[in-house]
Structure 1
Amino acid sequence: MRVNEALPGCDERVVTIYSNSEETNRIEDDNEDFVCPAFDALFKVHDMIVAQEFDNDDDYDDNDEYSERQTVVTVRMLVPSDQIGCLLGKGGQVIQKLHNDTNAQIRVINDNLPSCALALSHDELLQIIGDPSAVR
């Protein structure tokens, strides 16, 4: 994992998660699915950030699980430009199916990019909004 330096005037940072390993990890909350170590790390980072947001929320009841709350989270990811077509699919079919399956709002942002995203001109900005489990 690598966290890029903060850029002046930008309150976001780019976090790069990668793995060269060909091994797969079992997803903790799912006994049958395996993912590459980078995806496993991404899921864990997401879960930690969501949990931290709830720890900072005064209205949060410690007995609630975050998946049971009526909370909306926003995730923004940089996707290599040459891979964005795989996410969209022909005629937008893949992204529409993801939306239908998760009920999350998923869109590629082309305007008003943060300066940290502009520095990586070979990437597109993907934004996902929804409940934490759908966004994950």
Structure 2
Amino acid sequence: MESKVSEGGLSVTLTIRLLMHGKEVGSIIGKKGETVKRMREESGARINISEGNCPERIVTITGPTDAIFKAFAMVAYKFEEDIVNSMSNSPATSKPPVTLRLVVPASQCGSLIGKGGSKIKEIRESTGAQVQVAGDMLPNSTERAVTISGTPDAIIQCVRQICVVMLESPPKGATIPYRPKPASTPVIFAGGQAYTIQGQYAIPHPDLTKLHQLALQQTPFPPLGQTNPAFPGEKLSLHSSEEAPNLMGQSSGLDASPPASTHELTIPNDLIGCIIGRQGTKINEIRQMSGAQIKIANATEGSSERQVTITGSPANISLAQYLINARLTSEVTGMGAL
């Protein structure tokens, strides 16, 4: 990206990404989207908010630099207004600072910090804002969070200086953007319907109900790797064998009458993590939702693949395969998980 500095400041188009919690996003959107609509119209910047039922969302602000600074000013003042409103019901006397979190490619963070921390110190001293660059990259990305806190005016000045640094030092190499993961919610099946648990309520989930009904009808899903262009080189081996005991159990609500089968498939080592999830959360979800038993073999030396064995009725197996495929697709395409 080329930068040219003119009398009135920077005259280029920029994209800045912000990481916000759900409550902050709600404040920016406003009732029926009125607040964000006004921000877009008055600043002239494009403001996009990532979709999804996530605890965190990405807010992308794009436009000429003067439009970006106007949009940032409006966001900062809105957050300050929220702080003032919350304090009217609170005994606290000192007003907390406004805090924004930018998402910046890790390759640009060195320039932002400067040699021996000289640049970040200069930004702190000249703007009066506190600036912290996270030491670790955000999950599954090559980006870091840069937290700015202070008065709205200090934040706007700070963002101006950060924009100058980012324009003078473009990202090196490919950037893998951070995408917040959806909040995982428990799923239950009852009366042929799938429900997700949200707080004290069970909310009907049409997509999972559809999967559940397909599984009950024993409609096989396309085998993993054969129809999905995202995995052209992936090997998939399927074996089926009749086994006398039904290993599925009766608790999942799926049809337990057909004899249990076993299917085996191989998944590349570098993708197995997205199937297992942190502390096994994802694989346990897939087991619960499909009613199938799923075993992942340990890594073998010299092999770039892991063996996955799925046991259960044909319906359980096809649903487990579908869910594994959905996890792999979401990982490769960067879309939200199912």
TM-score normalised per structure 2:
0.27
Q: Which protein is bigger by CA-based radius of gyration?
A: 2
Corresponding residue of 2:66? 40
Change (3 A) 1:4 1:118: farther
Change (3 A) 1:51 1:4: closer
Offset at 1:45?
1.1
Identity %, equivalent residues = 29
Q: How many residues align?
A: 103
1:126 to 2:146 alignment: yes
Offset at 1:4?
4.4
Match of 2:117 among 88, 92, 109: 92
Aligned amino acid, residue 127 of structure 2: T
1:135 to 2:155 alignment: yes
Change (3 A) 1:41 1:126: same
1:13 to 2:58 alignment: yes
Change (3 A) 1:107 1:76: same
Q: Does structure 2 conserve the Cα–Cα contact (< 8 Å) formed by 1:104 and 1:135?
A: yes
In 1: Cα distance, 2:143 partner to 2:79 partner: 27
Q: Which moved more, 1:48-57 or 1:73-82?
A: 48-57
In 1: Cα distance, 2:153 partner to 2:96 partner: 10
Corresponding residue of 1:77? 102
Q: How does 1:55-74 map to 2 (within 5 A)?
A: 56=82, 57-58=84-85, 72-74=97-99
Give the SS at the match of 2:123: helix
1:91-113 per-position Cα deviation (integer Å, ceiling 9, x unaligned): 100001111112211111245x8
1:22-66 per-position Cα deviation (integer Å, ceiling 9, x unaligned): xxxxxxxxxxxxxxx1x2222111121233345554479xxxxxx
Change (3 A) 1:80 1:16: farther
Q: Does structure 2 conserve the Cα–Cα contact (< 8 Å) formed by 1:81 and 1:122?
A: yes
1:69-106 per-position Cα deviation (integer Å, ceiling 9, x unaligned): x6621111111121111111001000011111122111
> Where do 5+ consecutive residues of structure 1 fail to align?
19-36, 61-69
Q: Tell me: higher relative CO, structure 1 or 2? Use CA pairs within 8 A at least 6 residues apart.
A: 1
TM-score normalised per structure 1:
0.61
Give the SS at the match of 2:100: strand
Q: Does structure 2 conserve the Cα–Cα contact (< 8 Å) formed by 1:71 and 1:132?
A: no
In 2: Cα distance, 1:4 partner to 1:54 partner: 20
Give the SS at the match of 1:6: coil
- Aligned-residue Cα RMSD (Å) equals 2.6
In 2: Cα distance, 1:87 partner to 1:52 partner: 26
1:102 to 2:127 alignment: yes
Aligned amino acid, residue 144 of structure 2: E
Give the SS at the match of 1:118: coil
